[in-house]
């Protein structure tokens, strides 16, 4: 177990939007962010994305081993771009998430990555949380707390990540530690890019609505939205989490709409689910900082600004990298795991008590290097 040394660590994230692998380096002691380093991205090809799509909803006992191998190969490829780090935080690829029943499934074996890269790898971040009654998600909130300190925030604010699923972290930076009662509240807001991306692929052959251009030309179907917002999930007390396909019925709901109207309606669903989420926060945040691919959708950002009762900014306004926040988060969490520090707590995942969740795999004969 580490002391309080500063560690150079690369973290990875391959989200439920199945676009590719983000990898980013930070230097941290697991509490304070010391510095941000190099980052890179490896896109999945159309063929690889099609293979990964076949794994959605699959559990380890039914997943084709070649799909796990694809995940591992892609991550080894991107992590070779970080020759000077001491440690890897490997999230893997989520294919199924059902914490109330079967648990959570992220494909990819960290022990294989450790041998291939010759570095210690921290992975399987979610299982311990689920085993102790937590949702296993979201796991970025402890990093968001550190980011709030990094940007010297003085009042409660929120980080909104719009990946395949949306999630929000309400942060009160006046607390000293993220696991303290009242410091954080985090939960999944609802569907984000996943249903919109699936619609675009099915209707146009394109992986996403670039800049929200198609949605900007359409009209929102209010009847679909009204029915959508009746879903019991939106009124469930957080913490709470969703699987990528929890709102798969949205595709059927917009099936008879034109391409533009369907895109506009799904985009509005994202914005309005975030609005509903804010009503569940302890207090109205002073502002919302948006990360993830959704922040590049100008139509969505305009809908958020028109719908939410506080300022909406992209995280770049604070000098952060909205493409890499989740990869950076798993780098940060990896160091916390090695130090035995909590990575989740009751207010972020609903776990019974603060828990440090993760498996550490070391290649034979290789010890963790520590930066001076």
Give me the tens of pLDDT residue by residue for the chain, a chain 372 residues long: 566 689 999 999 998 778 899 999 999 999 999 999 999 999 999 999 999 999 988 999 999 999 999 999 999 999 999 999 999 999 999 998 888 887 899 999 999 999 999 999 999 999 999 999 998 988 999 999 999 999 999 999 999 999 889 999 999 999 999 999 999 999 999 999 999 999 999 999 998 999 999 999 999 999 999 999 999 999 999 988 887 788 989 999 999 999 999 999 999 999 999 999 999 999 999 999 999 899 999 999 999 999 999 999 999 999 999 999 999 999 999 999 999 999 999 999 999 999 999 999 999 865 654 433
Please give the pLDDT value at position 366.
Answer: 59
Distances (CA, A) of 317 to 133, 287, 288, 301: 37, 12, 11, 14
Please give the pLDDT value at position 243.
Answer: 78
- Residue matched to tokens 């990869």: 327
Q: Which residue segment(s) compose the domain that 345 sits in?
A: 7-137+334-361
Please give the pLDDT value at position 3.
Answer: 61
Sequence-distant (≥ 6) Cβ neighbours of residue 252 within 8 angstroms: none
- Residue matched to tokens 């395949």: 164
Whether 157 and 290 map to the same domain: the answer is: yes
Q: Which two tokens stand for residue 142?
A: 């402890």
Answer yes or no: is 160 within a domain: yes
Whether 298 and 192 map to the same domain: the answer is: yes
The upper half-sphere exposure of residue 272, i.e. CA atoms within 13 Å in the direction of its Cβ, equals 16
**Quick check: 200 and 206 in contact, CB under 8 A?**
yes
Whether 114 and 180 map to the same domain: the answer is: no
Provide the residue count of the chain: 372
Sequence-distant (≥ 6) Cβ neighbours of residue 348 within 8 angstroms: 138, 139, 141, 142, 169, 178, 184, 185, 186, 239
**Quick check: 299 and 271 in contact, CB under 8 A?**
no
Whether 163 and 308 map to the same domain: the answer is: yes
Answer yes or no: is 144 within a domain: no
Whether 270 and 192 map to the same domain: the answer is: yes
Answer yes or no: is 260 within a domain: yes
Please give the pLDDT value at position 371.
Answer: 39
Cα(316)–Cα(221) distance, integer angstroms: 32
Whether 124 and 195 map to the same domain: the answer is: no
CATH of the domain at 52: 3.30.420.40
Whether 284 and 201 map to the same domain: the answer is: yes
pTM of model > 0.85: yes
**Domain tally, the chain:** 2
Task: For 99-232, list the strands marked E by DSSP.
Answer: 103-107, 121-123, 157-162, 165-171, 184-191
Longest Cα separation, the chain: 62
Cα(282)–Cα(41) distance, integer angstroms: 36
Whether 103 and 230 map to the same domain: the answer is: no
Whether 280 and 338 map to the same domain: the answer is: no
Answer yes or no: is 143 within a domain: no
Whether 309 and 165 map to the same domain: the answer is: yes
Whether 107 and 194 map to the same domain: the answer is: no
């Amino acid at each position: 177990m580490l002391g309080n040394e500063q560690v150079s660590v690369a973290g990875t994230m391959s989200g439920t939007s199945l676009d590719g692998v983000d990898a980013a380096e930070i230097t941290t002691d697991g509490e304070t962010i010391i510095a941000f380093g190099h980052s890179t991205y490896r896109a999945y090809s159309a063929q690889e994305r099609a293979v990964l799509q076949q794994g959605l909803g699959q559990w380890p006992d039914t997943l084709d081993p070649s799909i796990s191998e694809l995940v591992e190969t892609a991550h080894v490829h991107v992590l070779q771009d970080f020759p000077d780090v001491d440690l890897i935080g490997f999230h893997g690829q989520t294919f199924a998430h059902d914490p109330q029943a079967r648990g959570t499934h992220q494909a990819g074996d960290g022990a294989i990555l450790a041998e291939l890269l010759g570095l210690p790898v921290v992975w399987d971040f979610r299982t311990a949380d689920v085993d102790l009654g937590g949702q296993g998600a979201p796991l970025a909130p402890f990093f968001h707390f550190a980011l709030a300190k990094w940007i010297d925030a003085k009042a409660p604010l929120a980080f909104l990540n719009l990946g395949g699923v949306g999630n929000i972290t309400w942060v009160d930076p006046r607390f000293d530690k993220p696991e303290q009662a009242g410091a954080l509240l985090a939960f999944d807001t609802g569907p984000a890019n996943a249903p919109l991306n699936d619609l675009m692929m099915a209707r146009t052959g394109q992986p996403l609505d670039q800049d929200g251009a198609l949605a900007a030309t359409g009209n929102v179907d209010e009847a679909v939205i009204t029915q959508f917002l009746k879903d019991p999930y939106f009124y469930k007390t957080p913490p709470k989490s969703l699987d990528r396909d929890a709102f798969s019925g949205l595709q059927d709901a917009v099936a008879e709409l034109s391409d533009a109207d369907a895109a506009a309606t799904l985009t509005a669903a994202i914005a309005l689910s975030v609005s509903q989420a804010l009503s569940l926060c302890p207090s109205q945040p002073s502002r919302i900082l948006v990360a993830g691919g959704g922040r590049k959708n100008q139509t969505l950002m305009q809908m958020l600004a028109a719908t939410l009762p506080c300022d909406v900014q992209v995280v770049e306004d604070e000098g952060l990298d909205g493409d890499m926040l989740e990869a950076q988060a798993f780098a940060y969490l990896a160091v916390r795991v090695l130090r035995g520090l909590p990575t989740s707590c009751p207010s972020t995942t609903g776990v019974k008590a603060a828990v440090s969740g993760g498996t550490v795999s070391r290649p034979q004969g290789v010890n963790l290097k520590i930066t001076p």
